[in-house]
Each structure stands twice: as C-alpha cells, then as structure tokens.
A and B are shown apart, each in its own frame.
Chain A
C-alpha cells in the first residue's frame, strides 16, 4: 500500500461501521496495534548534517534500514540521535523517499555512489520514480559498459502453466527460448537464403548446349530448380501454418505485415501449380514469379535492424511524403520549362513534357546519364538551375529520416537491455517475520466486507471454475469435489494475501503459503488485480501499472520490497521452482487474531486458510 493511502486507512476502517447494521454474521476481530507509541521526532545525524523526521515516517518502510530496528545499531546514547557516517547529499533523496513515497535520482550524483548509498540504507533502486528512472538506467548502463562489466544474463524462466500453443508462439517470436526454436530459426533462415539465391541463379545464362545457344540456368535445369522451389515453398507453407496455429489472435496475425509477406511469397508457386498449361495466362504467371522476390523480406524476422528500418520508414511517412510531393512539383515545373525552352531547337530529344520528366529526374538526383541534354542557351540555364535545386530538395528531408532511425535504433537497444535486466531481478528482500500492521489492518477491512456480504474474494481462475460448475450442476457437493486440492492465491491489492480453498475430506488444514513468486509474474498479477488504471490525482498508488513489469515502483514500500505471491496454482507442497523462498508456516486452526494469519470456517463447510 502506498504511504499516502496508508494515511487514509483509519478513515476507511472507521467508515466500515456503515456496513455493520447490514451484516448478518459477526465480524472478525481487528488486529491489535502493539506499538502504541506516541509519535516522536527522530534526529538523524548524517556526517554532521542533522535531519529530523517523525518516527512514523520512517516506519512506513519496515524493510529498510531506517524503518527497522537495524538503525538501533547507529544510535548514539549521549546525543540521543542516530549517527550515520555517509554522504548527506545523497541522504536527502533517501529521506524524501520516506516522506513522499517516491525515490528520485539526483542528476548530479555519481551513479555508483548513489547505488552504494541505496544499498546501505536497504532500498532497492527499482522503486525509483518514473521521472528519474530513465536517467538512472541510462547512467547505469553507461557505467557498466564503461567498466566492461556486463554480467547480464538473459535467464529464461519458463513460465509455468503455458499450454502447447503458447509455448510454440513464444518459440516463434523469440528464438532464444529453446534449442528447438533456435534450430527452427536457423533452418528457416537458411531456406529463405536458398530460395532467394535460386531465384537469382535461375536467370543467369548457363552456357550453351548443343540444342540452343545461351540459356538461362532455369530453363536448362528445370527439374532441379523446380524441386528446389518446391522444397522451399513446402517449408514456408509449413512455417506459415504453424504460426497461424500458434498465434494468440489469428485475425490479428493474418493482418500483420509479416504474414502478408509470407502469403505473397508462397502464393505464386501454388498459382503456378494450378494453371500449368494455359498459354494465355502463362505470361501473367511469369510476372507472378516476380513476387517470389518478396521472400527476401522474410529475413526481417531474422534481423532486428531490418525491422527497425521498416519501422523508421513507417514513422517517417510524413517526411517521405513531403519529399515525394516537393520532388513531383519541381519535376513538373522544370520539365515544362525545359520543354518550352528546347522547343525551338531542332532534333531535340525533348519531344513532350512527359518526355522531359525523365531529364528532370535524372538531373535533379544528380545522376546525369547524358541521354538527353539541352542544346539551347535558355535550356542550359534552366537545366543548371534544375540540378542545383535538386540537390537542395533531396538533401532536406534526409537528415530527419536519419535522426529518426538513430533514435529508434537506440531506443530499441535500451529496451532490449531493460528487458534483459528485468529477467534478473536482484535485491529481493526477506519478508519481515511479522507482517506489517497496515497490511493486516487492510485485510481485516476486506474481511469485514466479506462478512457483510457473506461472499469471499477468490482468485479469477477459481471464480471461473465455480461459475462453470454452477452453470453445469446445481449440487454444492460437486463444487466441493472439483475444488479439491486446488490451492489458489488471490492476487490482491498488496499481492501477499493468498487464500486457499480446500475441502474438508481432503485435508483438514493444509500448510504452506505462497509468499513468494518470481517477479516476472508481476505482469500477470497486475492484469488481474489492477482493474482500474491508477490515477495520480492523489499521490497514492496501490497497484503497479501493467507496463511496469518487474519494476517495483512507489506502490508502497511494504510490498514493493517484499515478495509478491504467485497467482497461478502451483503444487501444494512446492511453492515455486524459483529461488525466492520464505518459511512456510503452519496455521493454527483456531481463529486467533494474529497479525499474520487468520483461519476461518465459513458456513459453506469449507476450510479456508487466509494468510496475510
């Protein structure tokens, strides 16, 4: 929960009194606030500069040095202050983090010094706010490259619970996921190259045979080339069909540029098969073969630079359009002028205005073939003006396109690096043994709501399951059976709340709680629980934005530095294959008002273990 929202929690809890008359069951007991300290000022002496703040401000983030009891090690009895022998300038932004919930990166700071300060005070850099995050990451990357200490590994965590189709699509889109994908990638690349080379070699004159003089290779070795062509087209067809099968949205896939290129590449072959012996259309068929050259565009799947080039051209469409338009205007004007200037001279090549177009184009692009030259003086004068202005017109939009390309290219580089870094998220902090008070209070509030409405919050999957069952059968017993041994975690606001629905016959109480999960799951979690986009009119933000995958933003110190639970149902006893573990605790069966655990039995005869 964000710090700002935490200030309103007492209000939300007080307002819950509005539900009480409506509820029909008793309410759960509220978590007790053990630390009933009066709010006091704390003095933090950082290398002589004294900072003062409220104790509660620091307590907002109990996973950090200042928020936990770790700061007691720095307490100075005589002066009654906490002394830190660190950089006071960097400490300013750290203290502001506690105050506002947003960590900023001061631009004048050295990146490694700042990193050290963050590490010392137990704050992970991923929570740097949006405003400063780009800068921070850029500087960090520069630093790393400078030190040539690039130890990023793009570890590939296999996302659990992906069916065959999704795995296949992933393999197609990212060939580095598995060896099969890589093999497929190289094989298709190889066949594209073969196909293009075949098309080219087909037209090369192969030397004379006794029957005819110079024949192109294609006509000489028809069978061989036909076999080659067939093989390539088979591979391409299979690849296209597989992609079509694996695509998450087939309609969107069919509309995409790459798939159109694929289709255009293989269609001529099939059309040729269909209409082999028709003399009339064979001429048209020959032209169709031209489209085979589009196979070379299939390389854009293999080359990122090519994709970027294509994207640049697309994004510079307006500049290109401007170039074309101004060129057209200039061509028409100059062609007209040249035609009328050269009309007088005899044996002039400038027979008509369209004929002059060719001269104008060749002159403006400074090609100057020399097949058409003006002979009159007026013609020569206008011709020179034409060539001078041609240089200008063409030189103007080109730098814009180039700079666009450069920008997009670098952005892409940065995006790649960022993606790679997300995969290796370090800096997980251990869960505090005692769940934070705010969390428990929030969960108590949600629990009260559940009691008022006599319904419980469940995970989306479980909900869908129940819904399907409710539709199919009306017996509650059936529902219980299929709910059996299925433990789900509810990705809630704070991400750490997990619920379980297990049936009584299977096991009375099942231990283990999902207190951790790979951080890559953040995207899935937040698509589920972030139903609303977080608005920033107030400074509180509860859920991560969906595009902040892997970045623990200022969503609140307590969760961001803690570990987020996994929404998908893993096996009961194995929390997760990842390396983030917390101690699975056994839950007491009595409804004890511990701040971390509550077990309740509902009227539906289902034992729920809700962990906070």
Chain B
C-alpha cells in the first residue's frame, strides 16, 4: 500500500519544455550572405585582389554567416576599448557602414567603407566623417547630433581618466567644434563648411593620412 502511494506521488513530475533555441539557431544560420564576385568588388573598391582576399578571410573567420548585425558589431568594437563603453559610438559607426540601412553590414558594405577610409581622397574621407556625424542623414550636423557623437566618444574613455571627466566636457568640446566649423553661425554645419574648414586645418589634414598603411 505504501508502495502504491509512493508510485502515485512520483507521477506529477516536472516536464522540461523542449527549448525553442534550436529553432532560433536554425533561423539565424539560414540568413547567410554571399558577397559579390571578387572581380566586381575589385572594380568597385580601390583594393587589389589580394587585399580583398585577406580582408574577406578575416571577415569570414569572424562572422561565418557573412553578415554582421549590430549586436555583434558592438561586441567586436567594444573589445578594442575595454575601459569604456563603446556601444553608442559603435551604433553610430554601424549606421555609417550600413549604407543601405538594412540592419546588417555585409562584406560589401564593410569593404566599401574601408576603401573610402583607407584609399579614398581627402574629400571622400571627410564626406564619410560628415556622414558619420550626421545621424539623421539630412545633410546638416546640428549641435544635438554633434553632442550625441561627442558623448559617445567620451563614453569610450570610460570612467578612469586623467583629468577627471566632467559632465560638461563633451558640451564644451562641441562648442569649440562649432565655433571652428560653423562659418555662417547658423547653428548647423553643412558639408561644404565642414570640408572647407577641415581642409584649412593642418592637424586634421595630417591626421587624415595617418592610417594609410593600415592594410
């Protein structure tokens, strides 16, 4: 009798629900992307075949599915800045690279962006930087947009800096920037003002050439 009771009490076991994560995995892996042919990319960018091959190998190694979504992008970028929080800046960067705004960066986007940054003319580089700052892509950089960007950059520094980061530092920096860039003092910076001003600034010109030998 006791045995019967025991058996009864064993009945209502907890059943484990089959997890749905397997389905999610399948879904993700179905989203694969194959880039355009090597010849086409060679024509569209300023990289040589070999360079494209090296780039793609690194890219594919890191993202086997062929595309980078924003989360992965943020993770990767954050690894270079361990002391601070690089997620906001990575978000802006992601939007700058994701030229067709489909929420993911494919190899083509990646390599086109790199082509401009590493092999482009000064004009193109400056235009790219302008595009980065112009968050809503309307052709004007407002103070709010610049403040967002500036805060994102300062966030990457993290907390432990010397001198101690104050609340108003990014704002002050934005003021300095606008004073320099905004020639007609209308509160926004257009692309021509931006390019003009940067071309007249020696420091900026020199630093634009800094990463030419990266690849």
Residues of A within 8 A of B (CB): 1-2, 4-5, 7-27, 29-30, 32-33, 38-39, 56, 322, 325-326, 329-330, 333-334, 364, 385-386, 389-390, 392-393, 396, 442, 445-446, 448-450, 452-453, 455-460, 462-463, 466-467, 470, 492-493, 501, 529-532, 535, 537-543, 604
Asked if B54 CB lies within 8 Å of chain A CBs, one says: yes
Q: Does B163 contact A (CB under 8 A)?
A: yes
What is the minimal beta-carbon distance from A535 to any residue of chain B, in angstroms? 5
Indicate if the CB atoms of A466 and B162 lie closer than 8 Å: yes
Chain B residues 40 to 71 lying within 8 A of chain A, measured CB to CB, are 50, 54, 57-59, 61-63, 71
Contacts A17-B125, A389-B1 given; does A538 touch B161 at CB 8 Å: no
Q: Is the CB of A453 within 8 A of B153?
A: yes
Q: Is the interface of B mostly helix, strand, loop or mixed?
A: helix
List chain B residues, Cβ under 8 A from A452.
Answer: 153
Question: Would A330 and B5 count as touching, CB distance under 8 A?
Answer: yes
Across-interface contacts of A390 in B (CB, < 8 A): 2
Closest to A329 in B: B5
B89 to chain A, nearest CB (A): 8
Is A466 a contact partner of B114 (Cβ separation < 8 A)?
no
Contact in complex: A7, B150 (CB < 8 Å): no
Residue numbers in A under 8 Å from B207 (CB-CB): 20, 23, 26-27
Q: What are 7 A-to-B residue pairs whose CB atoms are below 8 Å?
A: A5-B80, A22-B150, A22-B177, A29-B210, A330-B1, A463-B162, A463-B164
Judge whether B81 and A30 touch: CB under 8 Å.
no
Q: Is B117 part of the binding interface, using a Cβ–Cβ cutoff of 8 Å? A: yes
User: How far is B79's CA from A340's CA once the two chains are assembled, in angstroms?
Assistant: 76
Do B215 and A10 have beta carbons less than 8 Å apart?
Answer: yes
- Closest residue of chain A to B84 (Cβ to Cβ) is A531
Give CA–CA (A200, B83) in the complex, Å. 61
Q: A333 contacts B1, CB within 8 Å? A: yes
Q: Are B79 and A542 in contact (CB under 8 A)?
A: yes
Chain B: interface residue count, which band? 35 or more
Stretch at the interface among B15-23, B30-38, B126-134: B126-134
Q: Tell me the B146-192 residues at the A interface (CB within 8 Å).
A: 149-150, 153-154, 156-165, 169, 173, 176-177, 181
- Which residues does chain B contribute within 8 Å of A442, judged by CB atoms? 80
Q: Which residue in chain A gives the minimum CB-CB distance to B55?
A: A10
Is B11 close to A, CB under 8 A?
Answer: no
Q: What A residues does B9 contact at CB under 8 A?
A: 322, 325-326, 329
Q: What's the least CB distance linking A309 to chain B, in Å?
A: 26
**Chain B contacts for A458, CB-based, 8 A:** 160-162
Query: Given A326-B5, A396-B6 in contact, is the A531-B83 Cβ separation under 8 Å?
Result: yes
Which residues of chain A come closer than 8 Å to B62, judged between CB atoms? 4-5, 7-8, 538-540
The answer to whether A460 touches B76, judged by C-beta atoms less than 8 angstroms apart, is no
Taken together as a complex, chains A and B put the C-alpha atoms of A418 and B24 apart, in Å, by: 37
A466 to B164, Cβ gap below 8 A? yes
Q: A330-B5, A333-B1 are in contact. Are A21 and B129 (CB under 8 A)?
A: yes
Task: Please tell me which one of the listed residues B85, B110, B194 contacts residue A11 in the complex, with CB atoms under 8 A apart.
Answer: B110
Known contacts A14-B114, A25-B203, A466-B162; is-contact A457 B211 (Cβ 8 Å): no
Which listed residue (B63, B132, B154, B214) contacts A453, Cβ 8 A? Answer: B154
CA A364 to CA B1, docked complex, whole Å: 12
B203 contacts A23, C-beta separation under 8 Å: yes
Given the interface pairs A467-B164, A540-B62, the reply to whether A493 lies near B5 with Cβ below 8 Å is no
B96 within 8 A of A: yes
CB distance from B117 to the nearest CB of A (A): 4
Q: Which of B80, B126, B164 contacts A493 (CB 8 A)?
A: B80
Taking A7-B58, A22-B149 as known contacts, 12 extra A-B pairs with beta carbons closer than 8 A to each other, sorted by chain A number, are A10-B215, A11-B110, A17-B211, A21-B177, A23-B203, A329-B5, A449-B153, A456-B161, A457-B160, A458-B161, A537-B75, A538-B76
Interface status of B135 (Cβ within 8 A of chain A): no
Known: A4-B62, A21-B194, A330-B2. Is A457-B161 also a contact (CB below 8 A)? yes
Residues in chain A near residue B26, CB distance under 8 A: none
* A16-B211, A457-B158, A463-B164 known; A39+B54 contact, CB < 8 A: yes
**Once the chains are docked, how many angstroms separate the CA of A116 from the CA of B129?**
53
Q: Which residues on A sit within 8 Å (CB–CB) of B206?
A: 26-27
Within the assembled complex, what's the spacing in Å between the Cα atoms of A85 and B96? 51
Cross-chain contact B173 with A22 (CB below 8 angstroms): yes
Query: Which residues of B pack against A, CB within 8 Å?
Result: 1-3, 5-6, 9, 50, 54, 57-59, 61-63, 71-72, 75-83, 85, 93, 96, 110, 113-114, 117-118, 125-126, 128-129, 132-133, 149-150, 153-154, 156-165, 169, 173, 176-177, 181, 194, 198, 203-204, 206-208, 210-211, 213-215
Assess the A392–B150 pair: CB atoms within 8 A.
no
Contact assessment for B213 and A30 in the assembled complex, using a CB-CB cutoff below 8 Å: yes
Q: Which residues of B contact A32 (CB under 8 A)?
A: 213
Output the least CB separation between B118 and chain A (Å).
5
Minimum CB distance partner of A99 in chain B = B61
Q: How far does the alpha carbon of A35 sit from the alpha carbon of B58 in the complex, in Å?
A: 19
A17→B97 CA distance, assembly (Å): 13
Q: Is the CB of B211 within 8 A of A14?
A: yes
Determine if A392 and B3 form an interchain contact, defined as CB atoms under 8 angstroms apart: yes
Q: Name B214's contact: one of A14, A38, A392 (CB within 8 Å).
A: A14
Chain B's nearest CB lies how many Å from the CB of A37? 12
Q: With contacts A22-B150, A538-B62 known, is A392 near B6, CB below 8 A?
A: yes
A15 near B153 (CB under 8 angstroms)?
A: no
Residue of B nearest to A476 (CB): B163
Q: Which residues of B contact A529 (CB under 8 A)?
A: 82-83
Which single residue of chain B is at the shortest CB-CB distance from A464?
A: B160
Q: B residues within 8 A CB of A385?
A: 1-2
Contacts of B63 in A (CB 8 A): 538
Contact A30 B154, CB 8 Å, known A15-B93, A326-B6: no
Task: Give the CA-CA distance A529 to B80 in the complex, in Å.
Answer: 12
* A22 and B153 contacting across the interface, CB-CB below 8 Å: yes
Inter-chain contacts of A1 with B (CB < 8 A): 79
How distant is B50 from chain A, measured CB to nearest CB, in Å? 7
Q: Is A455 touching B80 in the complex (CB atoms < 8 A)?
A: no
| B residues near A21, Cβ cutoff 8 Å | 126, 129, 133, 177, 181, 194, 198, 204
- With a CB–CB cut-off of 8 A, which chain B residues contact A325? 9
Chain B contacts for A460, CB-based, 8 A:
160
Min Cβ gap B38→A in Å is 16
A455–B83 contact, CB under 8 A? no
Given the interface pairs A7-B59, A393-B6, the reply to whether A531 lies near B82 with Cβ below 8 Å is: yes
Within 8 Å CB of A334, what residues of B?
A: 1-2
CA distance A508 to B150 in the complex (A): 34
Residues of B with C-beta under 8 A to A9: 80
Q: A16-B211, A22-B173, A38-B50 are in contact. Are A5 and B79 (CB under 8 A)?
A: yes
Q: Given the known A-B contacts A7-B62, A392-B3, are A455 and B76 also in contact in the complex, defined by CB atoms under 8 Å?
A: no
